Amino acid sequence: MTTVDATALRRAIPEVVGILVRRGADFASAEDAVQTALLRAVERPPAEEVRDVRAWLVTVAWRAFLDQVRSESARAAREERLALEPEPGSVPDHDDTLGLYFLCTHPVLTAGSATALTLRAVAGLTTRQIADAFLVPEATMAQRISRAKQRLAGIPLDQPGDLSRVMRVLYLVFNEGYSGEIDIAAEAIRVTRQLFALTDEPEVAGLLALMLLHHARRPARVVGGQLVPLAEQDRTVWDVSAISEGVGILQAALAQDRLGQYQAQAAIAALHADAPTADETDWVQIVEWYDELLGFGDSPVIRLNRAIAVGEADGPLAGIAALDAVGEDVPRYHAALAYLQERAGDVDTAAAGYAEAARRATSALEQQHLLRQAERLRHAGRPR
């Protein structure tokens, strides 16, 4: 008995769902049938080697759909129509993958629902794996996904969609982190590669480059259970091949002269990746890229990050002045201010700022890091 390549199976999922929909299945039933086929591949692998994974998945999923229809005592007319559909083994050349991306990120869905449904219907994760990633009970996630599919009932797969929304959802997936048995960030990269292959949009290339460049630093980001700031990371453990690929994809995208926000963010990440040490970072150019980013939307988060870059390029007092354009309720504002105050020599104020930032932190890792920073400065300020 052999097994089916899991990566190849999950790569084929969007296209197979589209094929089943074109054969007459509604989206919810098609997605359920593909999930059933995936489980069968794991629990009862085929006895012989599978040469065409997509065709095998179509066959098994289509049979699962027919079983589902029959078990629900569907009307005779529908059974007759289904019987006239192509044989399960015949796989059309038409690729509905991009349409499935659009459907899973349709405006009728909330961002959270779109993210969960994309992970299920496009990435091929199980409900339990998605629930683990979002740190919610499996039953809660099952209800969320079920409601999302109900809201999509009747919406055709080939309806024009918004590519920017697809990219936004994929970036949300990437930023979900690494909890659970599935590396959600790696899954986002895998799915974005599929989208990259389907379009010639430079912003999709920019998004893929951004993900690769950020992911390349992952091995150095948390060491011994402690968060390590970018300036203190061991750059020798960064993934050089991912950086090289990300930079190459970004350069090709920028050459098309259709700049977008993901390309600008990737350019900033590339400048960090290109610096042999933190002290050699080209902060002046990073400030310029943040200015480009602000041209796509006046985001307080971008202004906060720009203020830090200004502090590195022009000195901490200039950075503190730039923070005036950022509200105190913006996440990490107090951490950024404390960092710049420390660099300006105001140790006591910075220590209090780090403590306040820790109080507002949204993750345990970040909170612990900020508390260590506050304690370090308090210790440094004590008389000897």
| pLDDT, tens digit (0-9, with 9 covering 90-100), for 4-51 | 677 778 778 888 888 888 787 888 888 888 888 887 777 766 766 777
pLDDT tens digits, 169-202:
889 888 876 555 667 888 889 889 989 998 999 9
Return the number of other C-beta atoms located less than 10 Å from residue 257's C-beta: 7
pLDDT for res 3: 62
Which tokens in the block code for residue 285?
Answer: 């150019």
Cα 46 from Cα 43, distance rounded (Å):
10
Closest CA to 126 of 239, 37, 229, 238: 37
Element (H, E) at 221: helix 218-221
pLDDT for res 120: 87
Sort 273 into a burial class: Cβ within 10 Å, 0-12 / 13-18 / 19+: buried
> Which runs of E-coded beta strand occur in the chain?
222-223, 226-227
Alpha carbon 49 to its chain centroid, in Å, reads 33
Query: What stretches in the chain show pLDDT beneath 70?
Result: 1-4, 44-45, 47-48, 71-96, 160, 177-182, 381-384
Alpha carbon 141 to its chain centroid, in Å, reads 18
pLDDT for res 180: 52
pLDDT for res 84: 46
pTM of this prediction exceeds 0.75: yes
Q: What is the DSSP letter of 355?
A: H
Q: What is the DSSP string of 6-56?
A: HHHHHHHHHHHHHHHHHTT--HHHHHHHHHHHHHHHHHS--SS--S-HHHH
pLDDT for res 2: 57
pLDDT for res 249: 97
pLDDT for res 317: 97
81 SS3 class: helix
Structural domain boundaries of the chain? 6-83, 96-176, 303-384
Cα 70 from Cα 84, distance rounded (Å):
15
Return the number of other C-beta atoms located less than 10 Å from residue 18's C-beta: 23
Return the number of other C-beta atoms located less than 10 Å from residue 57's C-beta: 28
Question: Class of the 96-176 domain?
Answer: mainly alpha
255 SS3 class: coil
